[in-house]
Amino acid sequence: MDIINLIQKKYGDSCQLRSPLNKRQYNKAKNILPHELLEILKISNGINEIMINPNTMKIEVIDRIIYSLAEVKSQTNCYSDEYGGEGVVFAGNGAGGFFILKPNGKIYIYEYFDLCEEYYAESLSDYFSKF
């Protein structure tokens, strides 16, 4: 998938793919996720940003590049319930805000300090090219 390749190129060794959606998860996800995001999670149910802990020399997850299906559902429900917004929350910005994939395919960022959405990118591909 082009987006996963773009992420891997951008993050290099700091990118960790996860297990793909299982059949049950996929059947649930196809009813709630936009196609492009579903295709990513079908290959990797979330993508982690990782680093080597210099004290233990073990790999540690430091953030999510793309949320897992469970995180997408949880964060999207929170966004919808709290702010009445429409779209799918698929990633955080590392500072308490989050990115939303709108029904028209455009990406918006929701910032807590402004309590508003702002246009960010034309598509998931554009988002990962900028990020």
Strand partners, 89: 100
Average pLDDT over residues 96-124: 91
Helix (H, G, I), strand (E, B) or coil at 84: coil
- The C-alpha atoms of residue 7 and residue 20 are separated, in whole angstroms, by 16
- The C-alpha atoms of residue 79 and residue 29 are separated, in whole angstroms, by 18
Q: Is the pLDDT of residue 99 over 80?
A: yes
Instruction: Name the average pLDDT for the chain.
Output: 92
Q: Which run of H or E residues covers position 112?
A: none
- The C-alpha atoms of residue 90 and residue 33 are separated, in whole angstroms, by 10
**CB–CB of 69/24 below 8 Å?**
no
Percent of the chain whose predicted confidence (pLDDT) is above 70: 98
Predicted structure pTM score = 0.90
Domains of the chain in sequence order: 2-130 (3.40.1580.10)
Average pLDDT over residues 94-98: 86
pLDDT (0 to 100) of residue 1: 57
